[in-house]
Structure 1
């Protein structure tokens, strides 16, 4: 891409619409956690008090030649792992992580996926399976390989699905926050999104190449084949899940919005260990609009699985 002196922020937002359903607008600012890096797994306490006192620490963890930033606040199990939506990093949970630490006493882990925040960029198309591998590497290094409650917003639902499919015994439960789910990506819907992506990606030609722009382009690249494959996998029946749907979906058109809602309700009805609720008054940005709903759902899941 050719350089340009004007900021790409306005054009970046174009991609963060219905065309890239799982990429949402937001500041790509790394979480302002402590910069202390450690190779060993963090100590876990037996109660809430230690979690409330200790601050989060930064662990830079390598996987397949790149480094990822994991932010860890000590606590007991189950560990709560918060995975942000597309284009967002650990800072998306700034209203939620402290409340969960205080109310549950659990170990709280947030992280920046590749290309976001403090984590290294990776050349090529974004791939949910690769992102799940990054999460696996981070949790393995941190010693968190059981009693995990996944909390996944939007695009992170894809990461969670691949992760839980591979490691169902690691995950004791999940809270899927207006998440991108497999049954949404029918052949027709995926083709429509790909077509819309092409037009919107073209609008970025000539803009300044920045980390946010490159991440959006990486998400658009290979979008069709990746989501055709994603449509064919399923959430493991053994892993309980709470689905939190938004009042207003990431789509502006009625058909797309209804398909998104249907995907949420169909997923929730597919097993008896799944729960469905709506975050009233929220946009797709539930962690920002209704953090109280997320905290309550995660607290309930952690209590049930702890």
Structure 2
């Protein structure tokens, strides 16, 4: 693992990898206003006690649709895990128990609209709506500060706008091979659109598949959303660790691999309290290939703020 720390301080969506990676506080009470809750199936067993660690499912209402949030209660800070394009909360199922045990924090995962147990929102994907869903869910769960946000792939866009709008909510962020603003130049957006067309054509054959549905809805707004995202900035007040995979989402395209890595380095150099970490040997699926590294960096971020 190579690690660089800069005194000045990127993220993308992708399920059909090129497009969706670019296109992929303490909870003091289990139930907040407007949140219906129920006990979800046990996700794991505590390594310390051998007893099940249960996540409670809360169905959150936001703007006329319902979203599933899963809360594994702890004490102190809150860690929120946001998956990449086409992935639901189950993406983090192996990491949640280890993270809960290592930090003692409350751990929250959720299904974005149209994925997992969350309702579909018709029309093109809008990052503003995705940010609103996450904001509303945390608010209804009573989470108002001291959040470490962990965002993979497409969720980097959500993280950036959430941080801009609510810097006081976040104590820090770990951006896991995430979409970052510097990457989305006009030239790169054009390359991504061309690269993803065969995947979009294939998705059209089964548009009701949740991953295909998200890919198609993301593609509908991809150019406009990505162009705007290129102008977004990360607030200096929120520390960020950027984990960039060795292979990136573009393994097999050396030019795009280098652009992805350069964008991550640029993001880190452009602001204070930002750290760049390379996940050696990892594909874009860093949480699966290098869970040890992701866990370590989340632990480091939580510890640094307390």
Larger helix share, 1 or 2: 1
RMSD in angstroms over aligned alpha carbons? 2.3
TM-score (norm 1): 0.84
Aligned to 1:230: 229
Tell whether the 8 Å contact from 1:148 to 1:171 is kept in structure 2 after alignment: yes
**Aligned pairs, number:** 275
- Written as runs of structure 1 = structure 2, the 5 A alignment for 1:30-69 is 38-39=31-32, 54-69=53-68
Aligned to 2:112: 113
Q: 1:265 to 1:74 in 2, by over 3 A?
A: same
Q: 1:62 to 1:189 in 2, by over 3 A?
A: same
Q: Which runs of 5+ in 1 are unaligned?
A: 1-13, 25-36, 43-48
Larger strand share, 1 or 2: 2
Q: What is the CA–CA distance in structure 2 between the aligned matches of 1:208 and 1:115, rounded to whole Å?
A: 12
Q: What is the CA–CA distance in structure 2 between the aligned matches of 1:289 and 1:89, rounded to whole Å?
A: 18
2:226 matched to 1:219?
Answer: no
Aligned to 2:186: 187
Q: What is the CA–CA distance in structure 1 between the aligned matches of 2:15 and 2:169, rounded to whole Å?
A: 34
Q: What is the CA–CA distance in structure 2 between the aligned matches of 1:106 and 1:136, rounded to whole Å?
A: 19
Q: CA deviation at 1:139?
A: 0.3
Q: CA deviation at 1:207?
A: 3.4
TM-score (norm 2): 0.84
Q: CA deviation at 1:128?
A: 1.6
Q: What is the CA–CA distance in structure 2 between the aligned matches of 1:161 and 1:219, rounded to whole Å?
A: 17
Aligned to 1:286: 286
- SS of the residue aligned with 1:203? helix
Q: CA deviation at 1:76?
A: 1.7
Q: 1:15 to 1:113 in 2, by over 3 A?
A: closer
Q: CA deviation at 1:130?
A: 1.2
Q: What is the CA–CA distance in structure 1 between the aligned matches of 2:269 and 2:182, rounded to whole Å?
A: 12
Aligned to 1:3: none
Q: What is the CA–CA distance in structure 2 between the aligned matches of 1:92 and 1:203, rounded to whole Å?
A: 23
Aligned to 2:9: none
- SS of the residue aligned with 2:99? helix
- Written as runs of structure 1 = structure 2, the 5 A alignment for 1:1-306 is 16-22=16-22, 24=24, 38-39=31-32, 54-207=53-206, 209-251=208-250, 252-306=252-306
Q: CA deviation at 1:64?
A: 0.8
Q: CA deviation at 1:279?
A: 1.1
